[in-house]
Amino acid sequence: MKIELTVTSDKGIALQEYLKENIGIPKSLLHELRMSKEVKVNDKIPVWTLPLQKGDILSIPFLKETITPSATQMEIDVLYEDEHLLIINKKAGIETHPSSEEDTASLSNGVAEYFVEQEILAKVRHIHRLDKNTSGTILFAKHALSGALLDREMTVRKIKRTYLALVEGLMDCSAGIVDKPIGKDRHHAARRRISSNGQKAVTHYKVWKRFPKEKLTLVELSLDTGRTHQIRVHMSSLGHPLYGDTLYGASVKQERHSLHAWKLTVPHPFKEDVITVEAPIPFDFGPRTLAALIGKL
């Protein structure tokens, strides 16, 4: 398979520089593409140092790769798919990627089996990750070129992620911004904490609904940054830890914390479309007494 792109610049940039600067292909992948001798300009093998002309047609192959990690049979919930990318609704209780070569129970292992079944000869590339006990939308690339361009979109924050969280207590403010740096907790390897020496972290929140009887609040959140445990740390810092998140001060323990990657918006790397998908709120998101109500919001 291949992708065809039309040169839009009239600056006479060489093929090597055009693919790097205009398309965003990293140096390592450029080398692989060049060595493959399958890249073509106007259906001919190009001289990589010669300038391109506006209107030239570039043909870039999807390089065949060994499927990794190891494949594991697993039921996966596909929310969106085309030949370039895959968006999955992750269940809580499963890691995004394996923690070791012996670990074969992660979502990435399940996607590897899906690739085998679909005869997609590519490494499994998750463009972002979710904590083990966070459910919802997660984005995978289906070939190296797509992975490189989606990584670039993630780096410059073009890919937008919106979360829902059920937090302890009744929040007073209907909306707000938490701008507090986050660093590692030297007393607890698995925790993060607010730290003046930490990395900048900004979280926007908006209250959806308060539940006075249960003393819980349903909140929508979006991130300007993507720090480890960012939402969990920031909400806890406000005195409203996620329901079930005892690592960050919740008073009630459940099998998962109540955080769900509800919406994902992705500018398509090869088309002018913007893909937006929503993952239904799962039944195990919060207390059983609220599950049906939350699911209808």
CA distances from residue 54 to 13, 15, 21, 51, 203 in whole angstroms, order as listed: 10, 12, 15, 10, 42
123 and 155 Cβ atoms separated by less than 8 Å: no
Count CB neighbours of 36 within 10 A: 12
Structural domains in the chain, sorted by start: 2-61 (3.10.290.10), 64-156 (3.30.2350.10), 162-261 (3.30.2350.10)
C-alpha 208/C-alpha 175 separation (Å) is 9
> What single DSSP character describes residue 252?
S
pLDDT at 169: 97
Active site residue 131: yes
Closest Cα partner for 225 from 184, 266, 177?
A: 177
- Which one of the listed residues 10, 82, 131, 284 is annotated catalytic? 131
State residue 296's pLDDT score.
66
pTM: 0.91
pLDDT computed for residue 23 by the predictor: 85
Residue ranges of the chain with per-residue pLDDT less than 70: 292, 295-297
Task: Locate 123 and state its tokens.
Answer: 């490494």
- pLDDT for 294 equals 76
Question: Which structure tokens are listed for 156?
Answer: 């410059």
Q: What's the CA gap between 121 and 132, in Å, rounded?
A: 27
Output the pLDDT for position 183: 96
Return the pLDDT at 286: 87
* Res 256: pLDDT: 94
